[in-house]
């Protein structure tokens, strides 16, 4: 009898887990079109709010190196934002700045609100469901292969730092 009750409990729990699946987010691409986190299911995704005129802007180099390191097994997404008044005036300027100075080829969105004003739905989810709001530029949010929130890091943690790469590596071996 107990086994039957447990079997029903786990069957119901499994159904609930499907209903509670992590949400999907769409980001407008700086190159036109859009990115959907659904397209990246099965891979870890590191989402980083960026700004071209910030003291941490050199981390673009680390972001590209991280993207190259995982070569499609994980995704690095740059989300330019002027919420801390350090981004260039237009997407065209951001795109050119990143290409000329950092030879950036990783996915990048249009300029988005991440901490102030009408924030992008991804950042509203990180704030409301997980208590994380970027406190400055170059904050990092790792989402897992099923779109779940894994962990967040501040500006001073470089994208290719051991805590981040260890977390990504751990998700790749699951």
**98 catalytically annotated:** no
Q: List pLDDT tens digits, range 66-89.
A: 999 999 999 999 999 999 999 999
Q: What is the pTM of this model?
A: 0.88
Task: Compute the residue count for the chain.
Answer: 174
Residue 112 lies in a domain: yes
Residue 58 lies in a domain: yes
Q: List pLDDT tens digits, range 14-28.
A: 433 333 468 999 999
Residue 11 lies in a domain: no
Residue 78 lies in a domain: yes
Residue 4 lies in a domain: no
**Range(s) of the domain holding residue 149:** 24-172
> Of 54, 63, 78, 114, which one is the catalytic site residue?
54
CB contact at 8 A, 140 and 148 = no
Number of compact structural domains in the chain? 1
CB contact at 8 A, 35 and 121 = no
Identify the CATH number of the domain in which residue 129 sits: 3.40.30.10
């Amino acid at each position: 009898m107990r086994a039957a009750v447990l079997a029903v409990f786990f069957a119901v729990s499994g159904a609930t887990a499907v209903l509670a699946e992590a949400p999907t987010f769409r980001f407008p691409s700086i190159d036109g079109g859009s990115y959907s986190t659904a397209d990246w299911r099965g891979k870890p995704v590191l989402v980083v709010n960026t700004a071209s005129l910030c003291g941490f802007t050199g981390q673009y180099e680390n972001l590209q190196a991280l993207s190259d390191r995982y070569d499609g097994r994980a995704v690095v997404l740059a989300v330019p934002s002027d919420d801390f008044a350090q981004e260039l005036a237009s997407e065209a300027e951001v795109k050119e700045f990143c290409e000329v100075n950092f030879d950036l080829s990783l996915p990048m969105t249009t300029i988005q609100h991440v901490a102030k004003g009408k924030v992008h739905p991804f950042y509203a989810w990180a704030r409301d469901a997980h208590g994380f709001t970027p406190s400055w530029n170059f904050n990092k949010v790792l989402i897992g292969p099923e779109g779940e929130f894994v962990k967040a890091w501040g500006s001073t943690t470089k994208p290719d730092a051991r805590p981040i790469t260890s977390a990504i590596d751990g998700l790749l071996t699951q």
